[in-house]
Amino acid sequence: PRKIILDCDPGHDDAIAMMLALASPELSVLGVTTVYGNVGVDKTTRNALVVREVLQATVPVYRGADRPLVRDRISAEAVHGESGLDGPHLPEPTRSEEEFHAVRFIVDTVMANPGEVTLVPTGSLTNVALALRLEPRLAENVRGIVLMGGSVDLGNWTPAAEFNILCDPEAARIVFESGVKLTMFGLNATHQTPASPERVARLRALGTTVGAFTADLLDFFRGHHEERYGWNGAPIHDACVVAYLVRPDLFEMKSMYVEIDTTNGPSAGRTVCDFWRVTGKAPNADVAMNIDVNGFYDLLVERVGTYA
Ligand code: BDR
Ligand code: CA
């Protein structure tokens, strides 16, 4: 199985990414690291522990950065609720996170497994940027970074910027300029996966605790997307990256040069994607363009269904 570290800010779709990863024998999840993002890091860490509890999993959880490198912290209670995971009943976690900092865990784990570990960030890129700075040899020793963030086209937090990248554009710039093999799942792709009531019904029909938990997450997550976009379901952004690692054949990718706007203008935090190769710069990322959405949901339902 492919070794991964899931670096996340749960978050409804992060929780589902975690579920999918831990249910997939193609992957070996070495650890879950947390970062501030949708809500503060105390809450995202607690949410990771809650999800681990619901899944009855044993993967270690490490707490990471509590703020961006340079800018003020932003958050997304409007989308994910006060807890960051509003909707389902959240059981009290029975075990806590590890003592070790997430960034140290990332560095030590990658360096102990040269060329083998894939980083899978589904939140702001602060932990990954800090790891790249703490250990400059990380870039040559990591297998790749497969991330949710940015977009080839429109933003969701400003007209130009997607939330994860906007959280910490300087960190994103460090990652995109690192020379590491990058795979990017932006909104242009993830917006193809709205969890319609029919799709949520398939998860609920599993009749299991985890199936009901997932359905409750998606029912709550629909609210904001109905209001803001008029969509009958929330896209499960973060689960796309995990689905790709399990079933790359479900995705159509295009390689291109991607640059992060770290200015303070109206496009701050934008992933500027050289789709037409007008800059002449060598591509630094494989960017998701299209998803076989039915295949994606078949995979999700099948894997969520493996939990007792
Ligand atoms: C991203 O922002 C967060 O709210 C979601 O969890 C996802 O990672 C989408 O812009
Ligand atoms: Ca996220």
Give yes or no for a contact between 117 and 4, defined as CB atoms under 8 angstroms apart. yes
pLDDT at 302: 98
Q: For ligand 1, atom 4, which residue shows the shortest CA distance? A: 38
Q: What is the mean pLDDT of the chain?
A: 98
Confidence at residue 117, expressed as pLDDT on a 0 to 100 scale: 99
The pTM of the whole model exceeds 0.95 = yes
- With a threshold of 0.90, tell me whether the complex ipTM lies above it: yes
220 in ligand 1 pocket by Cβ < 6 Å?
no
- Residue pLDDT, tens place only, 85-143: 999 999 999 999 999 999 999 999 999 999 999 999 999 999 999 999 999 999 999 99
**DSSP strand E in the chain: where?**
2-8, 27-34, 61-63, 117-121, 144-148, 182-185, 194-195, 234-235, 251-260, 271-274, 285-291
Provide the pLDDT for residue 179: 98
* Residue 85 near residue 10 (C-beta atoms within 8 A): yes
Q: What is the pLDDT of residue 129?
A: 99
Count of H-run helices and E-run strands, the chain:
13, 11
At 262, the pLDDT band (50, 70, 90 cuts) reads very high
CB of 219 shorter than 6 A to ligand 1 = no
Q: Is the CB of 168 under 6 A from ligand 1?
A: no
Q: Are 40 and 66 in contact (CB under 8 A)?
A: yes
Query: DSSP characters for 5-73?
Result: EEEE---HHHHHHHHHHHT-TTEEEEEEEE-SSSS-HHHHHHHHHHHHHHHT----EEE--SS-SSS--
C-alpha pair distances (Å), 203 with each of 10, 119, 219: 19, 28, 11
13 catalytic per annotation? no
- Among candidates 80, 119, 60, 112, which has minimal Cα distance to 224? 80
Q: Rounded to whole angstroms, how far apart are CA atoms 183 and 73?
A: 25
